Amino acid sequence: MVKGFSDNEVKNNTQNTQNTQNTQIKEKKGLAGFLKGKKFTYTLPGKKQINIFGSIVIGLNIILVLLVILYLKNQEFHDFVFNVGR
């Protein structure tokens, strides 16, 4: 007898494991059934792709900083953003 368990609980546990094994035998449906035999692999991006994404990120950050400076320094641009935002 396992410590902390009664005989009834141990017998119920063995029945539960048999039930779960029967449910695992059933065919998977939907996306799980489709992906059952597929293997996904992740490949690291190449140097050219890293440079392209890095350039896009840095370019967008520079544009954002310029727009913030323009917003704070130029009253006409500030009013334009304020009026378009309504």
Residue range 61-83: average pLDDT?
95
CB burial string 62-81: b at 16+ within 10 A, e below: eeeeeeeeeeeeeeeeeeee
**If you search the block for the tokens 């017998």, which residue do you land on?**
11
Residue 50 lies in a domain: yes
CA 62 to chain centre: 28
Q: State yes or no: pLDDT of 49 exceeds 80.
A: yes
Within a domain: residue 70? yes
**For residue 62, pLDDT beyond 80:** yes
Report yes or no on 60 lying in a domain: yes
What contacts 33, CB < 8 A, 6 or more positions away? 27
Question: Is the predicted pLDDT of residue 78 greater than 90, yes or no?
Answer: yes
Question: What is the distance between the alpha carbons of residues 12 and 10, in angstroms, rounded to a whole number?
Answer: 5
- Residue 18, domain member (yes or no): no
pLDDT at 17: 56
Q: Work out how many domains the chain is built from and give that number.
A: 1
Asked if the structure places residue 61 within a domain, the reply is: yes
User: Per the domain annotation, does 47 fall within a domain?
Assistant: yes
Per-residue pLDDT tens for 4-46?
Answer: 555 555 555 555 555 555 555 566 677 777 777 777 777 888 9
Range of the domain at 49: 40-86
75 within domain boundaries: yes
Strand, coil or helix: 60: helix
